[in-house]
Chain A
Amino acid sequence: MKTITITVGTTGETTIKTEGFSGSSCKEATAAIEKALGKTVSDTATMEAYGGQSVQTLNRS
């Protein structure tokens, strides 16, 4: 089961979280939503994706 959880805060800022995707398909899955919403200000691979390491890219537009 693939799940995308989208949380829209009270000022319109959005957080998108994916679960259950294999490989890099999760990024493809949310790319369209992210692009439609605006500018991605941070993108963090969660713990499970990189065996405990957290990778963050700032100001990716």
Chain B
Amino acid sequence: MSHVARVQLEVRDLGCLAKAAQHLGLEFAENQRTYRWYGRFVGDSPMPEGMTRDDLGKCDHAIRIPGDSRAYEVGVVKSKNSNKWELAWDFWCGGMGLQARIGTNGDRLKQEYAVQVAMKHARASGYQVSRQTKQDGSVVLKAVRS
């Protein structure tokens, strides 16, 4: 029997998030409680869901570009109502270089996170995992077990 499942990503595993950050050449700063941003909400975009003005700039951990003191940073924020983690960052002006690293909407970081989670769980179940990046940018993991 075979099946195909489509899964919508939710960030729950901090270890995998840290590995994903490292894979993109970023640094996971554990317990860094603020992340660099413009510093003032100018109201030119909707407030992220579930956040208030006071929450902006505050986080539980952060992801940053090593040695770059100008680029904005990603705040890793514990979700108030579930065991998920939310990623927050200021994308104004490309986040001063941050967006080039994490992708539009943080997509590169989210993709790499999903790859790390899938590899971890497949290996834990005894699978050999190989990784390949397709021309369209998607990553294909082949997990094989006899």
Which A positions have Cβ atoms within 8 angstroms of B? 1-27, 29-30, 32-34, 36-46, 48-49
**Known: A44-B3, A45-B1. Contact between A6 and B122, CB under 8 A?**
yes
**Known: A6-B122, A6-B141, A29-B125. Contact between A12 and B107, CB under 8 A?**
yes
* B interface residues, how many (CB within 8 angstroms): 40
Q: How far is the CB of B110 from chain A (nearest CB, A)?
A: 3
Asked whether any CB of chain A lies closer than 8 Å to the CB of B40, the reply is no
**Chain B facing A: main interface SS:** mixed
Inter-subunit contact B144/A26 (CB<8 Å) = no
Inter-subunit contact A49/B1 (CB<8 Å) = yes
Q: Which of A5, A9, A27 has the most CB of B within 10 A?
A: A9
